[in-house]
């Protein structure tokens, strides 16, 4: 983001990341770095480090990492331009006025403003309908009957879309809505019989529905969820949402977050439910820190959004809907993002909404207090599903649990989980415990008690040569060009575990871009980003690495490549023998000889 010579680059050069992070986190010097408690995940011992020379930060617990701008973006929940402005202000660099927008940009902004306005007008219209029309009063009686009092209806801005078919459309037109804005809003549909341009053939998308405004984190209404009133006679699906629009992306919005986020931060946890009514039910029961996913499963964007306010969540999904698989997907996403997850399991056949209505608010709060750590919940399920008296049953139970374990990003927590699970499942055979611990450590998803399988895993796991080479490439720019040339000539990075990373380094070198941990990480997916930040903080006897050392890493990678190729050729030879394909066999045998010789010479 900070291109060399750009204003962002200038600001970055003047900013001291240690001082800037120090404004938010109490940092202590440790070796050449600074460490402190991570502001992005809850912890008691510091795993958050700041590198004053490289001007980056990295958390070894949750994997957060980046440069000074990324830190401010994450900390202040702002986009890059705003982070740039904040950092510039702190270091006293004056930013030039923003360049004039392109006409397209200006047009898009105007359109978004118009659409937000339409949604405000629509929300006011729906609320008015619920309040003062005959049809609306019936809807209101229905809501009251479901335990939503007038105060709650008002607090959540709930309204009613009448059945007339064009009531909202007429109102919005009266208020001056343009045909383009109406068409883009998702509030109206178009009758296909009027295929031409213009706004003939438009009608209300939502009819005879209780309307729930859906707002962004900052509280702007950008969409609606509509629940059909009465379950029968062609009233369409029970729930209907606004379609995606220039202001609404379903995967990036959590229902009720704008109201709940204060409480979420204060209590440092969120309650996560599925639907609007569940959310409102939990809220009226006193859980003001509740948000809803409003879909079958969470999206990564929603998890990130929630992660800005807390990393603790109590999941309260409907236990026996089609949701079980969706629930697991959601839980996995949360684990991957370093969340501490608890599970509130309500009695079968109830969801948060119906539970609160039947048992009352106090009972729900009690359940909330009793919510179990995800681990306990899983162990309980394993106990129910497998016979833990037999060795096979125990292995099967562990295989059921390992995929969850493998998703926990923090190594120490994974190890803790592993030993706790062994205890809970009363697994005391040392061999099984050891396998579980290893599998958890290596983030494997399967237990195999065979020595040959173990060997394969070990071979695949450690690739110190690649890691070290990458570290040298980053730390020692003086020899970088030479190593990269040798690597590319020999294609040593092809098929390597870090191939993606090396290819990116090569591309950056070709484009003559500055190569640092931060600039490289920016271009890579999260797993690779973590590795790079980890490497940046790893100290290899203070040495930046020599050309000789780099060459020996390259040679090791070459050997690994040759070995892999040799294994493949040997397999092909077996196949060719079986197929009695003598021509192919001859070629393969000579290829095998070449490879063996090359391998011999490389040792």
Pick the stretch among 58-66, 85-93, 319-327, 542-550 that binds Zn ion (CB under 5 A). Answer: 58-66
Under the binding rule (CB under 5 A), the answer on residue 21 touching Zn ion is no
Cβ proximity to Zn ion, 61 vs 136, nearer residue: 61
Whole-number Å distance between alpha carbons of 188 and 161? 12
Under the binding rule (CB under 5 A), the answer on residue 537 touching Zn ion is no
The only residue of 8, 11, 34, 41 in contact with Zn ion, by rule CB under 5 A:
41
Degrees to nearest 5, angle at CA 160 with 298 and 315:
20
3-state helix/strand/coil string of 309-363 = CCCEEEECCCCCCCHHHHHHHHHHHHHHCCCEEEECCCCCCCCHHHHHHHHCHHH
Under the binding rule (CB under 5 A), the answer on residue 38 touching Zn ion is yes
Under the binding rule (CB under 5 A), the answer on residue 59 touching Zn ion is yes
Q: State the minimum distance, in angstroms, from the CB of residue 79 to Zn ion.
A: 21
Report the greatest alpha carbon distance in the chain: 90
Q: State the minimum distance, in angstroms, from the CB of residue 59 to Zn ion.
A: 3
Torsional sign, CA 453, 459, 461, 462 = positive
Whole-number Å distance between alpha carbons of 455 and 461? 10
Q: State the minimum distance, in angstroms, from the CB of residue 47 to Zn ion.
A: 6
Pick the stretch among 32-40, 238-246, 344-352, 487-495 that binds Zn ion (CB under 5 A). Answer: 32-40
Pick the stretch among 2-10, 30-38, 132-140, 243-251 that binds Zn ion (CB under 5 A). Answer: 30-38
Cβ proximity to Zn ion, 61 vs 545, nearer residue: 61
Whole-number Å distance between alpha carbons of 122 and 138? 20
User: Where does residue 574 rank: exposed (0-12), middle (13-18), buried (19+ CB within 10 A)?
Assistant: exposed
- The DSSP string of 378-405 is HHHHHHHHS-TTSHHHHHHHHHHHHHHH
Q: State the minimum distance, in angstroms, from the CB of residue 39 to Zn ion.
A: 8
Pick the stretch among 40-48, 83-91, 172-180, 301-309 that binds Zn ion (CB under 5 A). Answer: 40-48
Q: State the minimum distance, in angstroms, from the CB of residue 532 to Zn ion.
A: 16
Pick the stretch among 36-44, 182-190, 323-331, 514-522 that binds Zn ion (CB under 5 A). Answer: 36-44
Alpha helices for 370-498 (secondary structure H): 374-385, 391-407, 411-424, 430-441, 451-461, 464-475, 480-490
Cβ proximity to Zn ion, 58 vs 209, nearer residue: 58
For the segment 60-119, give every residue that binds Zn ion (CB under 5 A).
61-62
Q: State the minimum distance, in angstroms, from the CB of residue 60 to Zn ion.
A: 8
Q: Of the candidates 2, 19, 20, which has an alpha carbon nearest to the alpha carbon of residue 11?
A: 2
Q: State the minimum distance, in angstroms, from the CB of residue 413 to Zn ion.
A: 12
Which 8-state DSSP code applies to residue 24? T
The only residue of 2, 33, 36, 40 in contact with Zn ion, by rule CB under 5 A:
40
Total of chain residues touching Zn ion, rule CB under 5 A? 6
What is the contact surface with Zn ion in residues (CB under 5 A)? 38, 40-41, 59, 61-62
């Amino acid at each position: 983001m900070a291109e060399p010579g750009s204003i962002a680059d200038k600001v970055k050069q003047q900013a001291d990341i240690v001082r800037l992070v120090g404004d938010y986190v109490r940092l202590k010097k440790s070796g050449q770095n600074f460490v402190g408690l991570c502001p992005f995940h809850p912890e008691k011992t510091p795993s958050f480090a700041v590198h004053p020379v490289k001007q980056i930060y990295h958390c070894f617990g949750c994997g957060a990492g980046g440069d000074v701008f990324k830190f401010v973006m994450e900390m202040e929940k702002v986009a890059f331009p705003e982070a740039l402005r904040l950092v510039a202000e702190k270091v006293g660099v004056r930013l030039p006025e923003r360049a004039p927008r392109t006409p397209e940009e200006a047009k898009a902004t105007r359109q978004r403003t118009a659409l937000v306005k339409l949604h405000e007008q629509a929300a006011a219209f729906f609320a008015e309908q619920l309040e003062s029309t005959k049809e609306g009063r019936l809807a209101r009686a229905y809501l009251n009957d479901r335990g939503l009092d007038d105060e709650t209806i008002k607090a959540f801005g709930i309204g009613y879309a009448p059945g007339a078919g064009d009531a909202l459309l007429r109102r919005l037109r009266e208020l001056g809505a343009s045909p383009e804005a109406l068409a883009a809003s998702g509030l109206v549909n178009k009758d296909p019989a009027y295929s031409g341009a213009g706004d003939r053939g438009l009608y209300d998308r939502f009819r005879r529905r209780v309307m729930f405004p859906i707002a962004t984190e900052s509280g702007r209404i950008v969409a609606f969820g509509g629940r059909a009133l009465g379950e029968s006679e062609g009233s369409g699906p029970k729930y209907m949402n606004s379609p995606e629009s220039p202001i609404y992306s379903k995967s990036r919005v959590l229902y009720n977050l704008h109201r709940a986020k204060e409480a979420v931060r204060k209590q440092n946890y969120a309650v996560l439910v599925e639907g609007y009514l569940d959310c409102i039910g939990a809220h009226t029961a006193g859980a003001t820190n509740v948000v809803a996913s409003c879909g079958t499963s969470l999206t990564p964007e929603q998890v990130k959004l929630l992660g800005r306010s807390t990393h603790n969540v109590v999941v309260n999904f409907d236990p026996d809907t089609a949701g079980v698989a969706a629930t697991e997907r959601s839980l996995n996403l949360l684990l991957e993002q370093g969340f501490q997850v608890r599970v509130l399991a309500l009695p079968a056949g109830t969801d948060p909404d119906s539970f609160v209505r039947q048992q009352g608010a106090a009972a729900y709060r009690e359940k909330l207090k009793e919510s179990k750590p995800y681990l306990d919940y899983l162990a309980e399920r394993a106990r129910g599903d497998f016979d833990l008296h037999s060795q096979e049953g125990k292995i099967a139970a562990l295989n059921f649990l390992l995929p969850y374990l493998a998703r926990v990003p923090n190594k120490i927590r994974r190890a803790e989980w592993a030993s706790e699970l062994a205890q809970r499942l009363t697994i005391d055979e040392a061999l099984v415990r050891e396998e579980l611990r290893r599998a958890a450590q290596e983030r494997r998803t399967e237990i195999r008690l065979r020595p040959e399988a173990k060997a394969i895993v070990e071979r695949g796991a450690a690739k110190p040569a690649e890691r070290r080479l990458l570290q040298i490439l980053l730390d020692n720019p003086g020899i970088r060009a030479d190593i990269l040339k040798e690597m590319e000539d020999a294609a040593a990075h092809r098929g390597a575990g870090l191939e993606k990373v090396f290819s990116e380094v090569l591309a950056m070198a070709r484009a003559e871009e500055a190569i640092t941990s931060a600039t490289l990480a920016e271009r890579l997916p999260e797993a690779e980003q973590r590795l790079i930040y980890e490497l940046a903080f790893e100290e290899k006897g203070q040495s930046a690495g020599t050309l000789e050392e780099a060459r020996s890493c390259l040679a090791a990678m070459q050997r690994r490549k040759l070995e892999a190729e040799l294994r493949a050729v040997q397999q092909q030879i077996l196949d060719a023998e079986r197929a009695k394909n003598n021509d192919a066999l001859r070629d393969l045998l000579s290829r095998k000889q070449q490879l063996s010789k090359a391998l011999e010479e490389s040792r």
